[in-house]
Amino acid sequence: MSVLDTYDQFRDKVETLCRQIEKDHAAGIACHAGCDSCCRSLTLFPVEAYALARALAQRPASEAEVIRQRAREATPDGPCPLLENGRCLLYAARPLICRTHGLPILIREEGQNRVDFCPLNFTGYDSLPGTALIDLERLNQVLVAVNREFVARIATTQNLPDRIPVREALLLPWPPEPLSSENS
């Protein structure tokens, strides 16, 4: 079993949830291809960073090198190095934060709940049903557990930081060692 199988399964579930919210509330969502103001250079858990590295390794070598050069030139506070003409160059492999950004996120802070979403979305809405909300705490709990499993499986050969900037993720080697484990 690949070290990224659990992440891939979780990412697919989050993607399904996001697509359902977008379908159910299409009239309230302004996000579209080319809308990229939220596409900043972010930090990722190692499991997401390596998922990007894997996706980049699957691209033609010349295209991958152009993206790696963009990553080397990227700044910590600048736009995401994967952004080109308002579109993500590795859209299918984008991290969870990119998949959920702009959608209604339920955030718990100091015993209070609040909902956050792109200010361009849901204008004129007085409220949103619970089925339209992505519970950030639950999402992060699962992502932390998936990341912990990933790090444990490759930690014998890698010393990984807690978070990895996108620009550094694009420079990671793929595959990591060990790529798979027996009876995991």
Is residue 182 situated within a structural domain?
no
- Domain contains 109: yes
More confident residue, 160 or 55: 55
Q: Which two tokens stand for residue 97?
A: 């934060």
pLDDT at 157: 63
What's the rounded Cα separation, in Å, for the pair 11 and 4? 10
What's the confidence (pLDDT) of residue 16?
Answer: 97
Domain of residue 63: give its range. Answer: 5-169
Give the Cβ contact number of residue 38 at 10 Å. 14
Q: Which of 75-79, 126-130, 151-155, 161-165 has the lowest mean pLDDT?
A: 151-155
pLDDT bracket for residue 38 (50, 70, 90): confident
**Considering the domain boundaries, does residue 33 fall inside one?**
yes
DSSP 103: S
pLDDT band of residue 164 (cuts 50, 70, 90) is: very high
Per the domain annotation, does 175 fall within a domain?
no
**Residue 181 domain-assigned?**
no
Instruction: Please state which of the ranges 49-58, 84-93, 174-183 shows the lowest mean pLDDT.
Output: 174-183
pTM: 0.89
pLDDT given at position 179:
43
Cα distances from 43 to residues 60, 150, 180, in angstroms, run 25, 17, 25
**Contact criterion met (CB below 8 Å) for 174 and 64:** no
Q: Is residue 174 part of a domain?
A: no
Tokens describing residue 84: 């080109």
Judge residue 108's burial from the number of C-beta atoms within 10 Å of its C-beta, 0-12 exposed, 13-18 middle, 19 or more buried.
exposed
Amino acid at the residue 44:
L
pLDDT band at 181 (very low <50, low <70, confident <90, very high): very low
Q: In this structure, is residue 101 part of a structural domain?
A: yes
Q: Give the pLDDT confidence score for residue 129 in this predicted structure.
A: 92
Residue 118 lies in a domain: yes
**Considering its fold, how many domains does the chain have in total?**
1
